[in-house]
Amino acid sequence: MQVTSDALLQSPFPVYPVSALRDIAPDILEKTVFTEAVSTLNNAIRGYVQQAAGGHRTGLAIPVRGDYGTGKTHLLVFAKAQMRKLWPGNPD
């Protein structure tokens, strides 16, 4: 079956199946499923923020890898949102 350019123009689906960050970022904390990877990252963030609040700021590096479409970007956007939420003095 040959797909014509007219069919692609009428399709409601993106040609490149990737979520835009602006679509997932605003309510990511409420929409994230706590998989093993998310729970591990969440625990690391909580520990880091707790240490930083106590005056013990050290670096933290967490490698994130996986195949296309496995949720790497979602995981990192979640980490950013969680860090902002938990950081002392956060206005939210």
Token pair in block for residue 34? 């706590």
The mean of the pLDDT values for the chain is: 81
32/90 Cα distance (integer angstroms): 21
In this predicted model, what pLDDT tens digit does every residue of 49-87 receive, in sequence order?
999 888 888 888 999 999 888 889 889 999 989 998 998
What's this model's pTM, rounded to 2 decimal places?
0.70
Q: Which of 15, 12, 8, 84 is nearest to 48 (CA)?
A: 84
Q: Which pLDDT score is estimated for 8?
A: 52
Phi and psi at 82, nearest 5°, equal: -70, -40
Q: Quick one: 45 exposed, middle or buried, by C-beta within 10 A (0-12, 13-18, 19+)? A: buried
CB of 38 within 8 A of CB of 78? yes
Tokens 């199946």 belong to: 17
Segment (H or E) for 60: none
Q: In the block, which residue shows the tokens 């602006």?
A: 22
